[in-house]
């Protein structure tokens, strides 16, 4: 358990079910309460509307040409920190999002935890 994350509500937006399951396990072992996982932007928007969120982990590419950009913009507008997760590096992000906290896939537990903690501290 990671003290900095204990009790934090983390939205998970990940379209790949196996990756989502692993990410949920990592976050729960660190003491987080996971909101989701959402597998598309519509589900994520609904979860955000219905739940208080402390931080989010957003898969960038949600398949079929869809991205998490609308969710990132929504979270930015209310000051909720988030981390991008991508297999495409910085090139997978919109120009406006480059330089934002991100983890590159495949990631390991300590890396995702450290990045989520950094997002919370920066907020």
Domains along the chain with CATH numbers = 3-122 (3.40.50.2300)
List, for residues 12-68, the tens digit of each pLDDT value: 999 999 999 999 999 999 999 999 999 999 999 999 999 999 999 999 999 888 999
pLDDT above 90 covers a percentage of the chain that reads 85
List, for residues 20-29, the tens digit of each pLDDT value: 999 999 999 9
- Angle at the Cα of 40 (from 39 to 42), degrees rounded to 5? 130
**Rounded Cα–Cα distance for residues 107 and 24 (Å):** 13
Extract the tokens encoding 10.
């983390």
**Rounded Cα–Cα distance for residues 123 and 22 (Å):** 25
Helices (H) and strands (E) in the chain, counts: 4, 5
Specify the pairing of strand 9-13 against strand 55-59. parallel
Question: Which pLDDT does position 96 carry in this prediction?
Answer: 87
What's the chain's length in residues? 123
**Mean pLDDT, residues 69-87:** 96
Instruction: Report residue 1's pLDDT band, with 50, 70 and 90 as the boundaries.
Output: low
């Amino acid at each position: 358990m990671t003290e900095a994350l204990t009790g934090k509500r983390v939205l998970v937006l990940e379209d790949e079910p196996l990756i989502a399951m692993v990410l949920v396990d990592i976050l729960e072992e660190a003491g987080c309460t996971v909101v989701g996982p959402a597998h598309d932007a519509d589900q994520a928007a609904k979860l955000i509307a219905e739940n208080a969120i402390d931080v989010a982990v957003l898969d960038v590419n949600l398949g079929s040409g869809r991205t998490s950009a609308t969710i990132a913009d929504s979270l930015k507008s209310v000051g909720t920190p988030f981390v991008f997760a991508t297999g495409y590096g910085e090139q997978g992000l919109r120009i406006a999002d480059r330089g934002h906290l991100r983890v590159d896939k495949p990631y390991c537990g300590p890396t995702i935890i450290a990045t989520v903690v950094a997002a919370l501290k920066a907020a």
